[in-house]
Chain A
Amino acid sequence: MKPRAALLMILPALVLFAVTFIAPLLLVGRLSFYQSDYVHTAYVGFQNYIDAFRDTYFLKSFVNSSVMTIMLAPLITIVAYTVASAISDYSEKVQAAARFLFYVPGLTSGLIMGILWLWILDRSGLVNNFIVSFGGEPVPWLYDLWPARFSIVLVSTFSGMGGYIILYAVTMHAIPEELRDAAKVDGASGRQYKKLIQRPLMMPTILLALLLSIVGTMQLWESIYMLTAEGGPEGGTASPVYEIFLTAFKFGKAGYAAAKGIILMLVLIAILLIKNRVEGWLRK
């Protein structure tokens, strides 16, 4: 391909990249070395970064997100995988319908669904009614630390499940027919096929899903805001993005928030690099 043509074709995207990402990122980077509330600005070098590493709320937000990811990732991966695997045995039409229906919950606005979830998870809400009718004790879903974290995970599962099911279902479907037929010919049962052939081939997809769920949870804030305002019981559901938002727009510390934003970005990139390493290692 001719270099000049290539440059011309990539130019629009490049310009947009510069304007929508590079320029703002450089501004944020620069801002992170200042103490600023947009009215008064003072250079402080690395002080914001040092403060961020000592900021218990900020550090805790990473712990919260990590914990919620650890709760979410296996849950959503295993359930989505199982469901995808289960529906793959049906006809194409049924599969398409199922994929469609499972995705629908993800199309709703997080801010509006929050109202419903508040009601469903309330002390005398839908879930507790269900539990009590079986003779159990109502659970303070939104008022105690671990139930609150689980509630956020639950809501994320509902909205995200469809996407993961589709991801897995489609990738499974894309496994070449020959492999499936060869397995049948060799006398492998459905279960054996799924365990010995399908799963290893799905590894890259599973890792991708894992990465997506980590990145997503760290950037989550809508459901957290609606269900467990003020950082949640014992500050246990605040996410890094929520902290950055508070720092910038409630405490008016723009430079400090910028530094935290940069730190978050570096953490996520680090996770991406780890994922690539793990993937390379698994291939061997």
Chain B
Amino acid sequence: MKRTLFVLLLLVAGALAWSATELVVLTNGITGWLPQEDFRGFQGIREKLAVDFEKAHPGVKVTILYRDVKQGSLTADALMAAGTPPDLWMDAAGYFKKYMNADYALPLEKYVDLSKYHDYLLKPYAKDGHQWALPYANVLGGFAVNTTMLAEVGYKLPEDIAKWTTDEFLALGAKLKAKKLPLSMVMFKGGMNDWTFYFLRAFGAEMYDSAKKDYSRVTINSAKAVAGLDYLKKFMGLGYGYPNPVEQNADAGVELFTTGKVASCAMQDGHCAYWIPEQVKTGKLKSQFSVTFTEFPHSAAVAHVPGYGYQSIMVAHKNKDEAKNKLIGELAALFSGREHTWYNSGVACGFSCLKDYEPSIGWAATSMHTDLSKLAQNVGLLPVDDVGDKGEEVSRLWATVTEQWIRGKVTTKAMLADFEKKANAILSK
């Protein structure tokens, strides 16, 4: 009995401590690469900025909730269902499709100075003349190549990207195989992973018609995809890929590349910047090697294979109270402002979403970082597929069928036809 009373008392006290205005921020729990010290004693940069905001606005409390990434959208769904959506939600863009509209979101153009952000990063999240989300972190990825390993077989990447073809890639594979070195990662654990999809992109195949933004059907059942898949099979058959694709996913790709066991792999510069020195420290790698980020080789069907990029964005929940909306807008600007961007770049190897601000401190000061940004500027990025939750189902289906394919249980054409039928069924619901 005593304990119950004690607990009840604690709760009453807690409820009474609740102050005038509270802003709730929901975010994922992914923090930067480096240990806590870099956040100057705070749990993270958001906590630090929250305290700054509270000091600037007495009587306002900012609460930061973390969504456990492994639990999917559980936390967010529970808050939505209970009628208490977070005032500001910061997360990977994929979660927000159903929230970026006038029913839910605060039109941010009224409360935030949008001129500070890159237009091309604002565009995907604007509709009907309103800015429904603000990008705060930009992640870029490209094709990482271990140039030290290539030099071992007397090979140098062609200066002219037109010469970096899929046939050239095979020739390089043969050279490396002579020295028992695998050229690249082919990752099929739980199905074809996104980085391995480059083999299909090299032949011009695409999952959706991104140019027309048509997400009502998949376009992967095409001769181009067949060409790409046949190439992939050939590549594996010749022994140029790291063995046992069914056992490798992105984590394995990063580990194997950064320990110098494979010559190339699609990834982000942050993976290299952090892990290569670590591997040397723990003795898994003898000495650091040179890395460059370039395009994935292309077939005759396309001139370039763009890099990829995705953004983390924030969506604000609209409020009847105008004063609160103004506060939320200010908080949103703060969490996507210079200080936050500094941490995102210097500590987490992200790229800035702000115009005229590209920090080159910390991890952002590496040559890999500049390689990637050059790549993004020269070749552009893959368009972001705006498919939402249905896209997840289609991805899962793709994973299932490609796994069967790599295990040799279904032919290429049959697999694509079957996938198209089922995927379109999902998308049409």
Contact = CB atoms under 8 A, between A and B. Distances in A.
A233 B80 contact: no
A163 interface: no
Interface string B380-403: 000000001110110010011001
B244 A248 contact: no
A106 B6 CA distance: 33
A253 B103 CA distance: 19
B104 A39 contact: yes
B393 A249 contact: no
Nearest to A143: B247
A123 B72 contact: no
B80 A249 contact: no
Interface in A243-270: 245-246, 248-254
A142 B81 CA distance: 37
A123 B246 CA distance: 12
B189 A252 contact: no
Given A234-B407, A250-B72, A254-B77, A143 B244 contact: yes
Contacts of A254: 77, 81
B262 to A, nearest CB: 16
A143 B72 contact: no
Contacts of B70: 225
A233 B72 CA distance: 21
Interface string B62-81: 00000000111110010011
Contacts of B388: 252
B104 A123 contact: no
B147 interface: no
Interface in B19-77: 70-74, 77
Given A229-B190, A230-B191, A234-B404, A123 B392 contact: no
A144 B190 CA distance: 11
Chain B interface size band reads 20 to 34
A249 B77 contact: yes
B104 A252 contact: no
A253 B388 CA distance: 12
A234 B403 contact: yes
A248 B77 contact: yes
B98 interface: yes
A230 B73 contact: no
Contact of A143 (B77, B191, B246, B389): B246
A249 B388 CA distance: 13
A38 B392 contact: no
Nearest to A249: B72
- Summarize B's interface: helix, strand, loop or mixed: helix
A229 B71 CA distance: 13
B244 A252 contact: no
Contacts of B80: 38-39
Contacts of B404: 234
Contacts of B275: none
B190 A252 contact: no
B99 interface: yes
B98 A39 contact: yes
Contacts of B247: 123, 140, 142-143
A251 B392 contact: yes
B340 to A, nearest CB: 27
Interface string B92-113: 0000001100011000000000
A245 B72 contact: yes
Nearest to A231: B190
Interface of B: 70-74, 77, 80-81, 98-99, 103-104, 189-191, 244, 246-247, 388-390, 392-393, 396, 399-400, 403-404, 407
Given A250-B73, A254-B77, 10 more contacts: A38-B81, A39-B103, A140-B246, A143-B246, A230-B191, A233-B403, A234-B407, A248-B77, A253-B389, A254-B81
5 contacts: A143-B244, A251-B390, A251-B393, A252-B98, A254-B81
